[in-house]
């Protein structure tokens, strides 16, 4: 390991030297934060000042009939005009109030697309309230009553936030977003230059023929990206702090500042942010085939990063242990808390540990990519990738196509006619995508799908597993009930679909057997068949199981169907034939359809569910045992 670190340091120094001679890197690292940020802050401050000033002095005219002759108006640019007054002739007027003659509602004319006009509307409404109050007091006076009219429940506003919270509040909502953007901007250019660019300039091949470990190459370049992203973010924070200290941001009513006590934590949090950005970008740069594709990927990642950090802009979303596990969002929320003077140590610890895990996962993936020979040509180039048996993007692409079709077309067709819509959905949108994807990729269809005869013993075990399989999904549904309760609406829609105006054999055929075959063609056939060439069998089972859970388009069904999907994947791999999971799936669906139609097992005892689940899993585990011994 020491050797790898030594080599990584050599790569780091060499790459950094080159990078620091790149004007674009220097611009992204220092130029952008130093130049753009004060300019943006200053402009924002001036705009807010001007807006507020113009809002205060917005011209409002009041068109009042003779009944309001004794109306007293404030003197500040509020003018009374006659009935014949025309808007078009007075563009400087921002809002017009028309007072009614016969007790109808007063009208306020304004232009919502102009912020000045919108502010004038607020003033006009305020003036109307004043007019109403004056009118009421006049009537009280006429009736011989003394005193002033009072609000039914007077309200006094009192801000309980401390000055630190008030000053850091606005900044806490915006700063994480800005820091993520700048760190990403600094990191992405560097990583693309150091990895994708090296490949295009043919220097990566030169580097990889040297006696240097590929992990050291990745680590060395990663360290350069970390440094650039870190410096970019640190320059941004320091510049912002300096801007605020120098009073460059001068906005009335909005006092903002970076609390001095928050600065150490803020700077400390920049490190995991930079490390995470660097890890993700280095991996992406190692994967994409060329610079142009890398830039597209960078834009997508930038949006993801901004969306994740933008969570901090919503005051209603509080930092918590669950969000502390979400990449980028966790760091943004902790930064926001630090800026308002809160230091939740537990959440901070979970955030740092989770970020460490995210970085480790990204780097492990990067090391795997670097170890592959197609790193020289770009793992993302589809022809080269597929030439080396890597089908992960194709699997996700095929699943995405199926999901979009099911969401936009399948649901709609089933809404028109449930029975025939189901047939269309399964045959065309599910099985069609499975076969179409394999034909598109030029893969052998029968072989990839696993359409071969199973051993009779495996088929027998599949029957046992299939009969017991409803216990698996029911057990999971029972276990998740406290967290994800099954809604009455969901149960109603499920029962409705199972109690069609059709004979039981037709319902079993359409809702049990057909989905069993078509969904197995897609999930255990095409997707698992392609994915198992790229990743370990366990990971392939988990991923395809998760996709199977997602495709059912129901939060409640996601986990039960997802775990059933994993079991079906395991059965497909153990039984080495698609007919094995088809049998289990068909029996599972068929029993559920018949049981719901007949009202069986309305509330099965827990021991029965557990027993069925165990039988199902054991039956699948026993598949292929004799074959392995032979």
The whole-angstrom separation of Cα 414 and Cα 114 is 46
Please tell me the distance from the alpha carbon of residue 562 to that of residue 551, in angstroms, as a whole number: 9
Stretch that binds other proteins, among 122-130, 145-153, 379-387, 484-492 (CB under 8 A): 379-387
Is 219 among the residues that bind other proteins (CB under 8 A)? no
The residues, ordered by sequence, that sit 6+ positions from 4 with a Cβ below 8 Å of its Cβ are 213, 215, 216, 219
State the nearest-atom distance from the C-beta of 28 to other proteins, in Å.
16
Task: Report d(CA 185, CA 25) in Å as an integer.
Answer: 10
Three-class SS of residue 392?
helix
Q: Name the token pair of 110.
A: 């304004």
195: contact with other proteins by CB under 8 A: no
Taking the complex as a whole, the smallest distance from the CB of residue 270 to other proteins amounts, in Å, to 27
Task: Give the Cα separation of 178 and 190 in Å (integer).
Answer: 19
How far is residue 10's CA from residue 5's CA, in Å, rounded to a whole number? 9
122 Cβ neighbours under 8 A, 6+ residues apart? 55
Q: How far apart are CA 581 and CA 565, in angstroms?
A: 9
Between 182 and 438, whose beta carbon lies closer to other proteins?
438
Shortest gap between Cβ of 189 and other proteins (angstroms)? 14
- The angle subtended at Cα 69 by Cα 68 and Cα 70, nearest 5°, is 90
| CA dist list (Å): 257 to 164, 170, 243 | 8, 9, 10
97 forms beta bridges with 62, 108
Could you tell me where the beta strands, DSSP code E, fall in 16-59? none
The distance of closest approach from Cβ of residue 194 to other proteins in the complex, given in angstroms and rounded to an integer, is: 11
Pair 312, 172: CB distance under 8 Å: yes
Q: Rule CB under 8 A: choose which of 108, 192, 213, 473 binds other proteins.
A: 213
Quick one: which of 24, 299, 360, 387 contacts other proteins (CB under 8 A)?
A: 387
Regarding 209 and contact with other proteins (CB under 8 A), the answer is: yes
- In the complex, least distance from residue 120 CB atom to other proteins, rounded to whole angstroms: 58
- Mask for 550-569, x = binds other proteins (CB under 8 A): --------------------
Q: Tell whether residue 210 is a contact of other proteins (CB under 8 A).
A: yes
27 is a site residue for other proteins (CB under 8 A) = no
Q: Is 593 in the site for other proteins (CB under 8 A)?
A: no
Stretch that binds other proteins, among 52-60, 178-186, 196-204, 588-596 (CB under 8 A): 196-204
Considering only 35, 136, 300, 376, the residue that binds other proteins (CB under 8 A) is: 376
Residues 494/408, Cβ–Cβ less than 8 Å: no
Given 384, 436, 479, 615, the residue binding other proteins (CB under 8 A): 384
| Residue 21 or 75 with smaller CB distance to other proteins | 21
CB of 198 to other proteins, least distance (A): 8
Among 207, 271, 304, 313, which residue interacts with other proteins (rule: CB under 8 A)?
Answer: 207
Pairing of strands 78-81, 60-63: parallel
Q: How far is the CB of 203 from other proteins (least distance, A)?
A: 4
First-to-last CA distance in the chain? 42
For the record, the structure tokens of 518 come out as 């078509």
Q: Whose CA is closest to 223, among 25, 24, 5, 69?
A: 5
Q: Checking DSSP bridges between strand 60-63 and strand 107-110, what pairing results, if any? A: unpaired
Q: Contacting other proteins (CB under 8 A), which of 5, 18, 135, 397? A: 18
* Residues 434-473: x where in contact with other proteins by CB under 8 A, - otherwise, as a string: -------xxx------------------------------
Determine the interface stretch with other proteins among 252-260, 384-392, 523-531, 614-622 (rule: CB under 8 A).
384-392
By CB under 8 A, residue 194 contacts other proteins: no
Contact residues: other proteins, CB under 8 A:
7, 10-11, 14, 17-18, 21-22, 201-203, 205-213, 373, 376, 383-384, 386-389, 441-443
């Amino acid at each position: 390991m020491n050797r790898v670190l030594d080599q990584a340091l050599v790569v780091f120094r060499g790459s950094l030297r080159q990078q620091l001679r790149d004007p674009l890197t220097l611009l992204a690292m220092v130029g952008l934060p130093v130049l753009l940020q004060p300019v943006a802050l200053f402009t924002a401050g001036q705009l807010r000042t001007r807006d507020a000033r113009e809002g205060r002095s917005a011209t409002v005219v009041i068109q009042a009939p003779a009944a309001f002759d004794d109306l007293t108006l404030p003197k500040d640019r509020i003018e009374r005009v006659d009935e014949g007054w025309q808007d078009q002739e007075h563009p400087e007027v921002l809002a017009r109030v028309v007072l009614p003659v016969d007790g109808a509602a007063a009208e306020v004319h304004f232009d919502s697309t102009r912020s000045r006009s919108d502010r004038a509307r607020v003033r006009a409404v305020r003036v109307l309230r004043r007019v109403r109050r004056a009118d009421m007091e006049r009537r009280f006076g006429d009736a011989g009553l003394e005193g002033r009219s009072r609000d039914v429940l007077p309200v006094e506003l009192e801000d309980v936030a401390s000055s630190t919270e008030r000053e850091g509040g606005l900044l806490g909502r915006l700063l994480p977003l800005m820091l993520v953007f700048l760190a990403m901007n600094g990191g992405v250019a560097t990583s693309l230059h150091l990895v994708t660019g090296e490949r295009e300039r043919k220097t990566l091949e030169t580097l990889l023929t040297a006696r240097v470990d590929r992990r050291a190459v990745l680590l060395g370049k990663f360290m350069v990206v970390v440094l650039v992203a870190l410096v970019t973010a640190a320059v941004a924070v320091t510049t912002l702090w300096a801007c605020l200290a120098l009073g460059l941001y001068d906005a009335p009513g909005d006092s903002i500042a970076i609390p001095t006590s928050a600065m150490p934590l803020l700077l400390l949090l920049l490190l995991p942010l930079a490390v995470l950005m660097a890890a993700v970008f280095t991996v992406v740069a190692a994967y994409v085939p060329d610079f142009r594709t890398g830039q597209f990927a960078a834009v997508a990642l930038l949006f993801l990063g901004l969306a994740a950090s933008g969570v901090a802009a919503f005051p209603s979303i509080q930092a918590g242990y669950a969000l502390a596990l979400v990449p980028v969002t966790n760091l943004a929320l902790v930064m926001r808390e630090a800026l308002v003077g809160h230091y939740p140590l537990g959440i901070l610890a979970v955030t740092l540990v989770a970020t460490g895990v995210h970085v480790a996962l990204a780097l492990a993936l990067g090391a795997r990519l670097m170890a592959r020979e197609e790193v020289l040509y770009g793992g993302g180039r589809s022809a080269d990738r597929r030439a080396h048996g890597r089908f992960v993007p194709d699997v996700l692409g095929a699943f995405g196509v199926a999901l979009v079709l099911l969401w936009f077309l399948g649901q709609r067709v089933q809404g028109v006619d449930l029975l025939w819509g189901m047939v269309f959905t399964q045959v065309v949108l599910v099985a069609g995508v499975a076969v179409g994807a394999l034909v598109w990729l030029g893969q052998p269809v029968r072989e990839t799908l696993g359409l071969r005869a199973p051993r009779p013993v495996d088929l027998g075990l599949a029957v046992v597993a299939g009969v017991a399989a409803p216990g698996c999904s029911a057990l999971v549904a029972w276990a998740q009930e406290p967290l994800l309760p099954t809604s009455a609406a969901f149960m109603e829609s499920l029962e409705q679909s199972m109690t069609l105006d059709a004979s039981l054999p037709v319902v079993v055929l359409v809702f049990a057997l057909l989905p069993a075959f078509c969904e197995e063609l897609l999930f255990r056939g095409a997707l698992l068949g392609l994915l198992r060439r790229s990743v370990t069998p366990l990971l392939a089972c988990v991923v395809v199981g998760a996709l199977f859970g997602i495709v059912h388009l129901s939060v409640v069904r996601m986990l039960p169907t997802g775990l059933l999907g994993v079991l079906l994947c395991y059965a497909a791999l153990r039984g080495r034939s698609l007919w094995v999971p088809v049998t289990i799936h068909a029996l599972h669906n068929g029993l559920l359809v018949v049981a719901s139609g007949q009202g069986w097992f309305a509330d099965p005892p827990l021991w029965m569910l557990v027993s069925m689940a165990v039988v199902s899993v054991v039956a699948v585990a026993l598949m292929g045992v004799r074959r392995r011994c032979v």
